[in-house]
Structure 1
């Protein structure tokens, strides 16, 4: 009696393990995983590896070159650039991850409900998505943040309000293509209710594309947060944040370009790593191949 479930479970496990092996053997995915692992390790060990207080101002030490005391030199206020980069990693990556998680938790259930139930809820949601989607996301985020006021929490709220619509649209399109298939119709005939059909049959098909979209969106959202912080709408001084560090170094680009190069390279590495991982997840989480 237990042979079939055991065989099915073992096949599922073998498929997952094989997919992970393929992903790790792919050079681009392996590079992305390695980069992200190093960055996460730096975040975890941040308080123990920073040589200086990232907020301490020492005007006598301003614009110092790299040394043992200051591994990447100092900024225009004498603060350790390396210490601020490590501290800023927690702020930038932490808030980016929180935004991505919030957006997915909003867009996924709304897209599932809208696509399966339809009716007025679906019509209202799609009109809202179409109306908001007519404007560029970045411009809309600037407008919302400017209306709410410059702060990192308001910036996060603005990005969430802008980004959840794309997730809801993707999930809705998947549900519309799956809800009339035979396995869903069989579940309905068998007496399954709405939430059971959504949870057992439609959610697995929608979850994989959402996870891939979230992995690819980490870089985009981080660029949005950093860009708005660069414009002065996000993290406020003296908080260490990569976009704010770019803004601080703008006036010294010709005399001390490292003030912008280091945070810019940090942002670039995270965006590249997340995009490489997202591409690898396309195969790992493809439910049709399993």
Structure 2
């Protein structure tokens, strides 16, 4: 029922939530609303970060990178999900699946390292405030961001190739709503222990190492904050880090529970729920987490709604 006469035998069938058809309409509405909010929130942060001179700092440079990443993250999966939820077919072309796998992996890896870079930025700002302009100069920030994006897209190329080349013996029914490594490896008709070992090593490097650096940075930040005598200054320092910590928790908790395990133990329902969190929920919530807890961003958004702001940026 998912394939018509024009469907290619190379196409993949994404089961998604077809085993519970009563869920498809409510999920379509939820995903569509979430996607609209993700587009609006992330585009807003990108625009104000680049156009408002009061947000011209490394912190907002990396925040705009995160928003661009989340914007691409949701766009790589949600439109196809919406089509499959409402259409009679549940297919994705072979090329579309490969591209989706590559982009999703690349962006997920980039977010892992970018969150660590943002933690380092907060560490320098709070623990070494006098050296902050020198250490986090514009050139270094651009190099750090560029290096993060390039290295993660290269890593994704390796993982994607190893996953795609795994023999499937004609199997093409993916029990997921998008093309992801654990779900694709379940289609393999050969021993996948090498792939699993490679996936676990790279997942450990890209998830656990940056997370360790993030936690280490916040240990030093906590010590520095506790030495601040002014309660108001302590609260301000804490508040600038709270949003980042919440984003880190939301992303890493779901990603680690998904990828730092053998794909052979992959649970379809658990995998779908975790993928919804780090693929849709987190990218949608990120801009609002940063906006609601950040006075500078809220003030910049208010200024952006005025006519004078756009006249000055021309």
Q: TM (normalized to structure 1)?
A: 0.30
